[in-house]
């Protein structure tokens, strides 16, 4: 944890008055553990949005099962085992056949301009895929996730790839950062799993930590997307767990994000699924390459023919605060 990382109590945004190698305590007496230099800011009384929240809290207290942080790369094992397990969840259905078989890390191209030290918050960083992508473009990045194991793995992956980044365990609805502390906020394939009430809570937190004239780029699923419609039909009448995809209409997204963060613009992230990226071509089987090609051609076409965005599966919402939001390329 670098000294430049500014932290506050996620409950009340108070500063920390007592700091030890193993805990942080705010001026109101709220105490949070530090696990191997990673602060854990999960709130026990908060409603659960994912099963990992309770597991992470237990592990933070016990601190006796932290194998993700003990891992080091070897000739036989170049990719972190946690990434081998999580790759399909983070990258989408195109990666389902690669679980346990990766020989390199699938780091995508983040659609943000290059920066010289601008501060970026990656909400729901998991094993660090987008955190690393942003750091490689010159951002000073903080990755946040409620999964302690994923965060510990992300730290090791960043170290392995020679990337500097900070990592914190926290809930998107209770961010442990001061007001106006980030120039950019990025979130990919995360808020879509929260209830719409919880999304609004997360957006309020994003607005709080986002600097004046800062921007946010957030991926969300489109209810009218081609593959999205297929998934919605498949799960009709089925019981769903806490952590499942909630689909939004473009109008819901525009209204909610504009009210909670600021003026917004929509752009297309991809078609035929969530999480599909052009950089996947180097990893996925050849018979799936046409999916990537078609998705990217349609995305580029949507820049000139806006109605195509209404059948995209994955949308990006670019937001600005206290100023008109320009679309981030």
C-alpha dist (Å) from residue 279 to 18, 136, 145, 193, 284: 44, 15, 23, 24, 10
Choice among 59-68, 85-94, 158-167, 318-327 with the minimum mean pLDDT: 318-327
CA-based Rg of the chain, rounded to a whole angstrom?
A: 19
CB count within 10 Å of CB 249 equals 12
Least confident stretch, 152-166, 214-228, 229-243, 249-263: 229-243
- What local confidence, expressed as pLDDT, does residue 328 receive? 34
325 pLDDT exceeds 60?
no
Instruction: Give pLDDT, residue 31.
Output: 96
Q: How far is CA 136 from CA 64, 79, 148, in A?
A: 33, 19, 23
Short-list 245, 258, 275, 244, CA closest to 216: 258
Residue 223 above 60 pLDDT?
A: yes
**In the predicted structure, residue 323 carries a pLDDT above the cut 70:** no
Would you state the torsion angle of the CA atoms of residues 125, 128, 131, 136, taken in this order, to the nearest 10 degrees?
-170
Say whether pLDDT at 193 is over 50: yes
- Please give the domain boundaries of the chain with CATH numbers for all domains: 16-320 (3.40.50.150)
Q: Looking at per-residue confidence, does 234 or 13 come out higher?
A: 13
**Between 278 and 51, residue with greater pLDDT:** 278
* Residue reference for tokens 């790839």: 161
Q: Is residue 326 predicted with pLDDT exceeding 50?
A: no
């Amino acid at each position: 944890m670098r000294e430049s990382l500014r932290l506050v109590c996620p409950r009340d945004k108070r500063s920390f008055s007592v700091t030890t190698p193993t805990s942080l305590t705010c001026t109101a007496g709220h105490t949070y553990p530090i696990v191997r230099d990673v602060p854990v800011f999960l709130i026990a009384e908060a409603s659960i949005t994912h099963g990992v929240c309770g597991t992470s809290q237990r592990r933070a207290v016990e601190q006796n099962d932290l194998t993700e942080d003990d891992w080091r790369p070897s000739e036989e094992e170049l990719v972190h085992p946690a990434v081998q397990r999580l790759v399909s969840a983070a990258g989408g259905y195109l990666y389902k056949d690669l679980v346990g078989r990766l020989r390199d890390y699938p780091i995508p191209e983040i659609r943000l301009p290059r920066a010289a030290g601008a501060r970026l918050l990656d909400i729901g960083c998991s094993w660090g895929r987008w955190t690393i992508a942003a750091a490689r473009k010159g951002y000073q990045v903080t990755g946040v996730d409620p999964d302690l194991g994923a965060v510990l793995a992300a730290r090791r992956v960043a170290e392995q790839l020679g990337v500097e980044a900070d990592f914190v365990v926290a809930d998107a609805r209770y961010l442990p950062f001061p007001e106006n502390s980030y120039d950019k906020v990025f979130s990919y394939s995360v808020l879509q799993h929260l209830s719409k009430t919880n999304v609004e809570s997360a957006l309020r937190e994003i607005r709080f930590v986002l600097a004046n004239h800062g921007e946010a780029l957030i991926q969300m699923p489109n209810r009218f997307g081609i593959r999205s419609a297929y998934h919605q039909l498949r799960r009709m009448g089925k019981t769903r767990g806490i952590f499942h995809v909630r689909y939004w209409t473009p109008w819901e997204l525009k209204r909610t994000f504009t009210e909670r963060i600021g003026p917004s613009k929509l752009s297309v992230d991809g078609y035929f699924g969530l999480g599909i990226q052009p950089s996947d071509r180097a990893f996925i089987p050849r018979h799936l390459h046409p999916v990537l090609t078609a998705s990217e051609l349609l995305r580029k076409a949507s820049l000139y023919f806006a109605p195509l965005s209404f059948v995209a599966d994955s949308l990006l919402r670019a937001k600005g605060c206290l100023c008109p939001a320009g679309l981030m390329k």
